[in-house]
Chains A and B, each alone.
Chain A
Amino acid sequence: MLDEYGIVALFAFVAVVFPAIPLLMAWVIRPKKPNKSKRATYECGLEFEDFPAEAQNVWVQFRVQYFIYALIFVVFDIEVVFLYPWAVAYNALGLFALIEMVIFLGILALALAYAWRKGLLEWT
């Protein structure tokens, strides 16, 4: 018998193959006639080639907010890893687990409140 994760592995295999099939089909039957203006970078009707060199560089600087959101996300995501086992075992653990988790969530809520107060959640 296949074990559970063998089936999951099969699903993962299909998940890789399934989107490749239409791409391959399209590759077989679609026309292939590239030319220079077709392959130009899209720029709202302007010629990308005519731009000054520094404007052709698409690696623009980003606001720091993206990074901060990502940081807060990582913190919360790690917390979730601890929350799920707690939730599963809650019935067996009793009152002490609840108090512990309230403290745990409290620290986290405090961190969120701190980030909020510091204006890190503002999209200026």
Chain B
Amino acid sequence: MDFFDNIFTNIYAWLAFWLHELLMGWNLPKDVESALVSAIMIILVIIVIILWMVLMVLILIWLERKNAARIQDRVGPNRVGPWGLLQPVADTIKMLIKEDILPENADRFVHTIAPMIVMMPPVLMFAVIPWGKGMVPVDLNIGVLWIIAVASIGTIGVFLGGYGSNNKYSLLGGMRAVAQMVSYEIPQVLTIVPIVLMVGSMSLVKINEAQSGWFGMQWFVFAFPVGTIAFVVYYLSALAEVGRTPFDIPEGESEIVAGYMTEYSGMKWALFYLAEYFNFFIVCVIGATLFLGGWNGPILPGYVWLVAKTYALVLLGMWIRMTWPRFRVDQLMNFAWKVLVPIALVNIVLAGVALPIFKMIGF
């Protein structure tokens, strides 16, 4: 199994070596050459990650539509390709050739830049995720902090979208989105603190390594009660942060048309739509990495385990989306500030007290 486990790292090493051989002929100075090789390799890695991410999101869209259909006793997309698998591709092509309607009063620059900003955080977050053994683009020692820091960029994009459209519904949707994202960011950020506390490092690779061994019993979700509570709080606030259906008040179509997306059409709208799925996917990846052991698992290669765990979380999110009605805005805010934040605060203290005790027993 070592062969499959290391296949990507081996391909990487082989490509780097080959590139090195290729550049030998140019007689470059040694440091220039090695810098060039590593730069080209990183660009390749980024391209592969982006392609992988786009593929995952297309599958995610198909999966969500199929799932929704099954839960509502329909068939779902089944015409384009086998089982309708090419439906998201067809949708993307359709969005590409749609006219982009810019409202007369809208702020042209802000209106255009908003969907681009919304797309930024998932790409930035992909930089620090360990995809498998040795498969991490950058092992930042502040990985967790980096993730929560760039996660808040999306808020700005959403608000710019609402603000630049010059429409009441958009502005209302933007304001609601900011209030919701800001509120749910707090429990999400607080609930990762116990994990950092248990590991003693913010590097995602270190967090991953701390969960290896004991056949999965060292996953933080099983570190009862601290890890379990942290996982539940993280998952709920992540769903709300992304704006999935029980928490999709910013775009509640029965109240404010489509929220901040009201005045968007064509590819700009598609970017907002895709960003939601990108964010949902990355949030599930981070959840799997922090709480479900990341790429640790028996028999199968690490990256398969990470994807499997991610999809378990994704399917759970889809199930929640299909079975719950939308919250009211006051219920939503109360849930964040009166339930999740106190639980997360108590959880931190609990972790601080429990950790030395476990250490003393020699756990």
**Measuring CB to CB, which residues of chain A are less than 8 angstroms from any residue of chain B?**
1-2, 4, 7-8, 10-12, 14-16, 18-20, 22-23, 25-27, 29-34, 36, 38-44, 58-60, 62, 65-66, 69-70, 72-73, 76-77, 80, 83-84, 87-91, 95, 98, 101-102, 105, 108-109, 112, 116, 121-124
Contact = CB atoms under 8 A, between A and B. Distances in A.
Interface residues of B, number: 81
Contacts of A31: 97, 99
A109 B342 contact: yes
B104 A40 contact: yes
Given A90-B197, A91-B200, A34 B337 contact: no
Pick from A15, A34, A83, A112 the residue with the most CB of B within 10 Å.
A15
Contacts of A70: 178-179, 182
A16 B120 contact: yes
Contacts of A18: 50, 119, 123
B270 interface: yes
Interface string B99-121: 11111110000001001100111
Contacts of A62: 175
A58 B124 contact: no
15 contacts: A4-B138, A7-B138, A11-B123, A22-B267, A22-B271, A23-B116, A34-B102, A41-B104, A60-B171, A66-B179, A76-B186, A95-B356, A121-B333, A123-B329, A124-B330
Contacts of A33: 99
B166 interface: yes
A8 B201 CA distance: 19
Given A30-B100, A70-B178, A73-B182, 17 more contacts: A4-B139, A4-B140, A12-B124, A14-B46, A14-B50, A16-B120, A19-B119, A22-B267, A23-B271, A30-B266, A62-B175, A73-B183, A77-B186, A87-B193, A87-B196, A109-B345, A123-B330
B42 A7 contact: yes
B42 A58 contact: no
B193 to A, nearest CB: 5
B81 interface: no
The 4 closest A-B pairs by CB, nearest first: A26-B267, A123-B330, A19-B119, A15-B123
Nearest to B267: A26
A30 B98 contact: yes
Contacts of A23: 112, 115-116, 267-268, 271
A120 B189 CA distance: 22
Contacts, number: 197
Given A42-B257, A80-B189, A105-B349, A11 B127 contact: yes
B137 A16 contact: no
Given A30-B100, A70-B182, A88 B202 contact: yes
A30 B97 contact: yes
Contacts of B171: 58-60
A29 B97 contact: yes
Nearest to A102: B349
Nearest to A63: B175
B187 to A, nearest CB: 9
Given A10-B43, A16-B116, A42-B262, A34 B127 contact: no
